[in-house]
Copies of this chain bind each other. A is one copy, B any other.
Amino acid sequence: MDEDMLTLLGSCPVPFEDSTEVLLSHGSGGKLTADLIERLFLPAFRNPYLDRLDDQAVVPIDGIRLAFTTDSYVVTPIFFPGGDIGQLAVHGTVNDLAMSGAHPLYLSAAFILEEGLPLADLARIVASMREACTTAGVVLVTGDTKVVNRGSGDKIFINTSGVGRIEHGRVIAADQVRAGDLVILSGTIADHGMAVMSKREGLEFETEIRSDTAPLNSLVQTLLAGNPEIHCLRDPTRGGVATSLHEIARRAQVGIVLDERAIPVREEVKGACEILGIDPLYVANEGKLLAVVDRKDAAGVLERMRGHRYGQEAQMIGEVVGDHPGLVIMRTGIGGTRIVDVMLQEQLPRIC
């Protein structure tokens, strides 16, 4: 590690925010979420499946490798350009399963409705979930509905859980990543988060910013078809690309070096980020994935990705290094380097 890097490291701000209460930042996907997981949830439930901290658990049942995942969706507003909470809930869980290389098969849906929600809104959300299930090729097999009194919820929260089957022989997980791997991003970043924020803040642009919400299971199957050495797949949702890469770097104890110029951001999204003072690297995506691939197979994976509907704008955005384990470093457009911090504050509450 050169001296510049050491200077950077020395000045890296990691303030420690302690609280006796749940803060919005505990749900950000960033530092405080990690704290909550590592201090509270992991010690309580410690087991080899949970401890991996991947987007899904991979559990054995009678010789089958089953992927199992859960997510609750609390996005506000519930309808936004490019999608709605229902579609998001289906795609999110399909994607979490797909990131293990699993074929998503069955979904559950549990609704927490606030008294007073228009039934027409619920019907619209359900129709959207149905369409999303059909497109992704998953079957919603079980559900639950609870209603809370006015003021004890916010219109609608949806939990989806899902199971899928892993048919390939690999382990695709953060701890499989190693120095020398290359990092591929399937397309533009921050579309989802900025679509929601623009709607929430009433921002208007010449070109409407639309969520990228999409089911990524067919993209993953396309990538896996050539049996390349894909070590890790992540969909960079809450906390964005920065947070997903931090999790990988930390889990695999490697460094990651990104090339700022290679990371695609739409002009209108860049504009919205500037207005709101938000770094797009930390903004949620709902139809993108990061693939960390053995160097020898990276070009092939990139090519396949670009041939798929959801990977047309894919880019090679960085590499995995043995130096500075746990850190993500950005080579900036003007030739410098900076540390990509762990996200500390909640920038975008209730984005998914």
Contacts and interface: CB of A to CB of B under 8 A. Distances in A.
Interface in A142-166: 142-149, 151-154, 157, 159, 161, 163, 165
Given A113-B22, A119-B22, A148-B350, A68 B108 contact: yes
Nearest to A128: B44
Contacts of A127: 44
A163 B68 contact: yes
Nearest to A36: B145
A213 to B, nearest CB: 17
B40 A122 contact: yes
Interface residues of A, number: 80
A34 to B, nearest CB: 10
A70 B106 contact: no
Contacts of A153: 152-154, 157
Contact of A41 (B37, B126, B148, B163): B126
17 contacts: A19-B119, A21-B118, A24-B115, A28-B147, A37-B143, A44-B126, A44-B129, A45-B130, A47-B139, A47-B140, A47-B141, A50-B141, A56-B142, A72-B111, A72-B159, A108-B161, A112-B157
